[in-house]
Amino acid sequence: METRRRSLVKATIWSLMGLAMMSLIGWLATGSVAVGGFMALINTCIGLVMYVLYERVWASISWGRVGISHWSKG
């Protein structure tokens, strides 16, 4: 299980990458840096919250995890 801080840092970095891409797409789609940027900012804020919640939920679910095996050297 990872720490909340790690989940938040991962989500923040992911969101910043998404913000950059969505700003570009928004600008190209609307022709306006302000409108495209605003759309990207709203999308990024929603995405950040959802990603952190998603990561925290999955961090608490043990289904599908494989235990770590220790291979002995022989």
Q: Give the tokens for residue 62.
A: 């043990």
**CA 54, CA 48: separation in Å to the nearest integer?**
10
- The domain spans of the chain are 4-59
- Using the predicted structure, report yes or no on whether residue 71 has a pLDDT greater than 80: no
Q: What is the pLDDT of residue 72?
A: 47
Helix 33-59 and helix 4-30, axial crossing angle in degrees, nearest 10:
150
Please tell me the pTM assigned to this model. 0.64
Q: What is the pLDDT of residue 66?
A: 78
The answer to whether 43 touches 18, Cβ cutoff 8 Å, is yes
- Using the predicted structure, report yes or no on whether residue 70 has a pLDDT greater than 60: no
6-45, pLDDT tens digit by residue? 888 888 898 899 999 999 999 999 999 999 999 999 998 9
Q: What is the pLDDT of residue 15?
A: 86
